[in-house]
Structure 1
């Protein structure tokens, strides 16, 4: 059985900055992966696999231009890729609409980090 917990936090200014970085980087990776999938589908008529997108992200993080992606937890970025992959899978199976780009202006921002199960 899966359980979910909601917490209200009161971060200090340093923690708030790190949380904002996670929001921005997750949104950037989601939008980048969506654009990548759209281009690939228009050219080749099929979608990229999850591992192909992840390898592209690793290459992007190694470049100096996108070094700022290394400042946040990599799990949150991989989870953004998982979200876009799931959105495309659901769309092609007829379960949802086509995924849309995420905006800075919409207040429903989130990112996910998975932690180990407590022992």
Structure 2
């Protein structure tokens, strides 16, 4: 069976620079192929669509013209082409919008590859082009085969490795012969047919801190925007950008970390709750209702 594993990465300063380059390379290939497809259609609307395999054939010429693309895992560039081709297929089926160009200003960056990843020591992995990198919980990778991996950088300033692995099917849970029905509520998360109430997730302190830092972030970004406009208006020879002001970026990372802690704790709470229910009951029946529609 296939399952997902997410690990934390701790890259060195050199590896962080390499990752920044690899994120940019994937974004560059996506934008180049998208621009080519738009220009091709503009020149000849009746021309055939360039699929993912044809895009992969263009990668060799692209690497000759832009040698910095060789610093990336070659399979990650192929995955970028595949994702773009899939976006166009969804567009042709009227199941999605037209693909957009990717911006380097997007906080969350990532790339996906299909190369081999190996565990070299406890909490150390070997990734293509990056070499040996420190990680967490490598014991989860025993007795499984990595099919695909994704390295990501989120708005909290942390790096993660998401793995799609192939492993043996887990052992079945013992039968209990019990059945339960769940009634979704507003005051309570759910109420079972046995009369047990499951409370909603509560993280008041974290939510308060998140609100405070969200306000600080908005104020600091506004102040930085005003300062940049005033500077650029008075100094024509040297232009500044809002990214040159680190105060609002520190607030952005702080509020993002509070928001992520809330999301992680909520996910952990729901995962433990559902796991307990699955272990206790063989059949679980849930009403087909949306809480927001209850009046």
> TM-score normalized by structure 1?
0.88
Alpha-carbon distance, 1:51 to partner: 2.3
C-alpha contact (below 8 Å) 1:40/1:48 kept by paired residues = no
Structure 2 residue 81 is the aligned partner of structure 1 residue 81 = yes
Counting strand residues as a fraction of each chain, which structure ranks higher? Answer: 2
Deviation at residue 62 of structure 1 after TM alignment: 2.1
Counterpart-to-counterpart distance in 2, 1:57 and 1:102: 18
Alpha carbons 1:33, 1:53 under 8 Å: kept: yes
Task: Tell me whether 1:13 sits opposite 2:31 in the alignment.
Answer: no
Cα displacement (A) at 1:84: 0.6
Alignment of structure 1 residues 25-104 onto 2, 5 Å: 25-45=25-45, 46-63=48-65, 66-104=66-104
Contact persistence 2:33–2:55 (CA under 8 A): yes
Q: SS of the residue aligned with 1:59?
A: helix
Q: Which stretch shifts more, 103-112 or 50-59?
A: 50-59
- Could you report, residue by residue, the CA deviation over 1:26-55 in whole angstroms, capped at 9, with x for unpaired residues? 000001011111111222324212222112
SS at match of 1:55: helix
Structure 1 contact 88–99 (Cα < 8 Å) conserved: yes
Cα 1:59/1:51, change in 2 over 3 Å: same
